[in-house]
Structure 1
Amino acid sequence: MLAFIVRRLFVSIWVFLAASVVIFFLAVNVRDPLSEARQLPGPAQETAVAEITERMRLDDPVFLRYFRWLADAVTGDLGVNRQGQDVNAMLEGAFTATLQLVTGATALAIVVGITIGVISALRQYTALDQTVTFVAFICFSLPVFWIGTLLKQFLALDFNDWLAEPTISPLFIGGISLITGMACASLILGDRRTRLIAFALSAAAMACLLAVLSATEWFADPGLGPVVVALTALGGALGFATLVSGLEWQRPLQAALMAAGAGVIAMFALDPVLDDPSLITLGGLAVLTAAVCFGIGWAWGGELYREAAIPAAIFTGLFTGAVIFTDRMLMNFDNYSESVGGRPVSTVGAETPNYEGTFWESGLDSIGHLALPTLALVLLSLASYTRYTRASMLEVMNQDFVRTARAKGLTERAVITRHVLRNGFIPITTLVAYDIGAILGGAVVTEQVFGWSAMGRLLFTGIEQGDPMPIMAFFLVTGGAVVVFNMLADIAYAFVDPRIRLS
């Protein structure tokens, strides 16, 4: 393994250096950096041309400029741009904004896309599979600027207006209930009568829920409350226990239920701490939650069931913590909405200028600005992950070793989780690694639509001004990320599939 990592690192460095040479020569010749200075009148033209020439060292040969940039970049100095601004400071601000913009979108697209792809493969050629395929192709073909415009209109302007009187129309309740019923019926395996029962129950439950939320104007002052948090934690415990070991094993299920109960008790015990915490405090609580749940799974699982009880307890504990986090965030929604004039969903920028609030209110401000661009990026990436996952799963499910696993008497859950998923994730690993590396370069069109100043804007500005320094700073992050994450993908192959030998 170590020899492989060293060998891949050596090759990656040379690939990165070769790419940097190409990008630098393209950046130098993309546009004349003196074009604007030459339009100035008289002596001002000569002064501006001389300053820019000296600052950008335009009199030096291109190779000399490249090696000077490379030597400075190795020491961490990315130079100055055409106006004399520090490129390091520009890159720091742009990269921070890009992380805020794309981190949540990438994580959501990966988790939701892979989940939908797995379900679609398991329900091949059903109505659910056909619907997922149709929606995926639509999302894949939509231009991002058009998606952004629609989201601004319907999920920002109209939604903010609706929050003034948050009542749901009967037509909308009926439509959402119908869609929910159809989705639940398509997920159920059974005869027509079973599916009709599932359709009727889920549609009626959704209709009642929306009617109650509308009558109580819940959306104006939302919150989950202890009862909903406890029931959600219970559902999470059942779900994770089923996924990890199945409900036939009692020890993992009991460990998950204990983790959920401990989380609900901690919600009341830590009420003063959660009133206005810091990010470090929440991070420490997350680590403490994982440690406590690990102890629960270790102690309660025993020698026979410890391997399944530990992940079931940890997943349940972290999920319960996330539900409590959501509840606290929703409890502060009313105060935040009033402080921003009843317009919680923003259409421009990364934050409300000069806004100061509690941790939860500041978090709502960030979420309100991230909601639309994140959703736009998720809709675009979702289709790729869904289709790749479905195709990979179907290919693996037809292999001989899967049929052998079923013939040995393994449960369908064990066949899917232990054999199909592990082998089906190999091509997805490549897609995820490339996507994470590339998306760090920012989303130029999305940033333009939603008024974000991030990595895409840094690249666009460098090209527009014919300035190679911002362009090379952009390449340093994105090119390095692509190289590093592709190397990590190669290493991950050995852990995903033992048949792969790195030698």
Structure 2
Amino acid sequence: MSILILLAASFVMFNLVALSTDPLEDLRSSNNPNKQQLIEARIQLANLDVAPPLRWAMWVGGAAKCLIPFANACDLGTTFQGAPVTDVLPIAMVSTIQMVTAALLLAILFGISTGILSALRENSGFDVSFTVLSLFLYSLPSFLAAALLKNFVAIGFNDFLQDPVIPIVVAVIVGIVVALIVQAVVGGDTRRRLTSGGTSFVLTTGLLIYMSVTGWFLTPGFGPVGVIVLSAGAALGVTVLIAGIHQRRALLTAGIVAVAGIISYFALQGLFDVSTFATIGILFVVALAVGFAAGFFVGGDDRAQNMRIGVLVAVIISVIILIDRFMQSFPGYMEDMNGRPIATVGSSTPGYAPDNMWRVGLDVFFHLLLPTISLLTISFAGYTRYARAGMIEVLSQDYVRTARAKGMPERVVVVRHAFRNVLIPITTLVATDLGGLLGGAIITEFIFAIPGMGALFQRSLGPGDLYPVMGYFIVIAFMAILFNFLADLAYAALDPRVRVR
């Protein structure tokens, strides 16, 4: 069925583009003396003398060769400039996939977390506030969000870095906002709310004043103390969330991984100076193996749960160490960018090729930061609303009431019983959202001048350059069909009732 859908959709797309555009219009209006020769060359290059349905059949024949492994015979046609689409498409895909992947992961993480917290604090101030925020972001056009990000984030923050001083009044206001959010999330009686809100206010305000006084924004980094504290917090937080603080083996597993991560932080600083992206990939695999092994050998009767804890703690600590190492390279990168690191156009700085992989990563990050946030606003609201509605519905089910009546901790009820069922509709949303993000990148890439898939589509559709348009289409169609297929398989993993032998 997927193959038939792909063939039918490609036929419709091919003929719509071929019949609605004039690929020779720019040449007919040209004053070039060899205009006729150029027209004939383009007709021959793009097979314009062949009827669109037959051209589609020829294109499908070339595209089918892409399925032959190791044959290197893939043929998706050529652009009007004579470049094979198979050469142009991978270059355009890199920036788009980076944006879409980051936006999708962040939307899933923050959207689901916010939705679940809203459901657990139904009709509270936190719930109402984030409901309004999510609906506002959902209704905000992507081009308007991009323009606002350019003006208030890129230009504003770059100007701030010229003299990075946070006024005490601003620090206090930010501390109050954070305190209001924290006390709403924590909930409980008045004493508990005041304690959590007051603590977060003091910590947030004090941290902002410290960052301002020490010039942290110009020389950022967690430092050894920050890495140790964050690693210990990650180990403790993951254990509490998944197993509970009283599970000694789970706590021991997380502690072993945290200690190994902290030791690695100090031991690998020299290696980081000469690392490549391949080296970082190998180290990340080793970190996963350490987390897996710690959970396996310490796990005891609940070995599977402890292996999940070990791997998750290893991932979080690896990310903390990588972020700290990137931040250590920020002063040098900022100097290279003349004090204005956040870019508003392009996917990288033209001609910028330092011998330091960390600066290369920072360059890509700061170029894709605003486009990723712009795409994130499209998906955040959907995940928040689906997660909230699903959690509220699941928490009212009989099996949840039974679990609570048996005396199970609320953490177990929410994480092990309710959350798994909430993931079923969200799995469908992820599958459909990916195609939407790829399509929505057209506007975002145009505004930020990113040479990605959206720019390729827009640049090719206007003059009727058909084969790059079909290359764009085939990627989106294939990804949409693939992720819907993977969603079907995920249903079986999440819900035993739909498993097929």
Q: Same fold (TM over 0.5)?
A: yes
Distance in 2 separating the partners of 1:434 and 1:259: 36
C-alpha distance after superposition, 1:375-401 (max 9, x if no partner): 111122111111111111111111122
Give the CA deviation at 1:470. Answer: 1.2
Give the CA deviation at 1:45. Answer: 3.3
Are 2:211 and 1:221 aligned? no
1:328 is aligned, of 325, 331, 336, to 325
Once the two structures are superposed, the pairs formed by residues 265-304 of structure 1 within 5 Å of their partners are 265-302=263-300, 304=301
Please tell me whether the aligned partners of residues 171 and 205 of structure 2 are also in contact (alpha carbons under 8 angstroms): yes
Give the CA deviation at 1:442. Answer: 5.9
Please tell me whether the aligned partners of residues 63 and 75 of structure 2 are also in contact (alpha carbons under 8 angstroms): yes
C-alpha distance after superposition, 1:18-67 (max 9, x if no partner): 11111111111121111122113485332232222222222212221111
Distance in 2 separating the partners of 1:50 and 1:244: 67
Distance in 1 separating the partners of 2:253 and 2:30: 74
1:66 is aligned, of 37, 48, 56, to 56
Matched with 1:366 is 364
Are 2:5 and 1:15 aligned? yes
Q: Kindly report structure 1 stretches of 4+ aligned residues shifted beyond 6 Å.
A: none
Specify the SS of the correspondent of 2:270: coil
Specify the SS of the correspondent of 1:342: coil
Distance 1:114 1:394, change over 3 A: same
Give the TM-score, by structure 1 length. 0.95
Matched with 1:337 is 334
Comparing 328-337 with 430-439, greater Cα deviation is found at 430-439
Are 2:24 and 1:34 aligned? yes
Please tell me whether the aligned partners of residues 375 and 437 of structure 2 are also in contact (alpha carbons under 8 angstroms): no
Matched with 1:134 is 132
Specify the SS of the correspondent of 2:130: helix
Matched with 1:5 is none
Identity %: 40
1:311 is aligned, of 300, 308, 311, to 308
2:353 is aligned, of 351, 356, 361, to 356
> Amino acid of the residue matched to residue 81 of structure 1?
T
C-alpha distance after superposition, 1:228-285 (max 9, x if no partner): 1001011101110011111121110121011101110111111211123111111111
Once the two structures are superposed, the pairs formed by residues 227-238 of structure 1 within 5 Å of their partners are 227-238=225-236
Matched with 2:416 is 418
Are 2:486 and 1:455 aligned? no
Matched with 1:251 is 249
C-alpha distance after superposition, 1:426-449 (max 9, x if no partner): 110011011224434460110011
Matched with 2:69 is none
Specify the SS of the correspondent of 2:392: helix
Matched with 1:4 is none
Distance in 2 separating the partners of 1:341 and 1:41: 44
Specify the SS of the correspondent of 1:29: helix
Matched with 2:398 is 400
> Amino acid of the residue matched to residue 229 of structure 2?
L
Distance in 1 separating the partners of 2:488 and 2:269: 45
Matched with 1:3 is none
Distance 1:42 1:271, change over 3 A: closer
Distance in 2 separating the partners of 1:353 and 1:82: 25
Matched with 2:68 is none
Matched with 1:8 is none
Give the CA deviation at 1:218. Answer: 0.8
C-alpha distance after superposition, 1:428-486 (max 9, x if no partner): 00110112244344601100111101111111122101122111111110001111110
Are 2:376 and 1:386 aligned? no
Comparing 138-147 with 400-409, greater Cα deviation is found at 400-409
Are 2:460 and 1:477 aligned? no
Specify the SS of the correspondent of 2:321: helix
C-alpha distance after superposition, 1:397-417 (max 9, x if no partner): 111221122222221111111
Aligned pairs, how many? 492
Give unpaired runs (5+ residues) of structure 2: 66-73
Specify the SS of the correspondent of 2:273: coil
Are 2:98 and 1:108 aligned? no
C-alpha distance after superposition, 1:339-377 (max 9, x if no partner): 110011111101111112211111111111111111111
Please tell me whether the aligned partners of residues 81 and 470 of structure 1 are also in contact (alpha carbons under 8 angstroms): yes
Please tell me whether the aligned partners of residues 438 and 478 of structure 1 are also in contact (alpha carbons under 8 angstroms): no
Comparing 464-473 with 307-316, greater Cα deviation is found at 307-316
Give the TM-score, by structure 2 length. 0.95
Please tell me whether the aligned partners of residues 434 and 486 of structure 1 are also in contact (alpha carbons under 8 angstroms): yes
Once the two structures are superposed, the pairs formed by residues 39-188 of structure 1 within 5 Å of their partners are 39-41=29-31, 44-75=34-65, 76-188=74-186
Comparing 254-263 with 38-47, greater Cα deviation is found at 38-47
Specify the SS of the correspondent of 1:465: coil
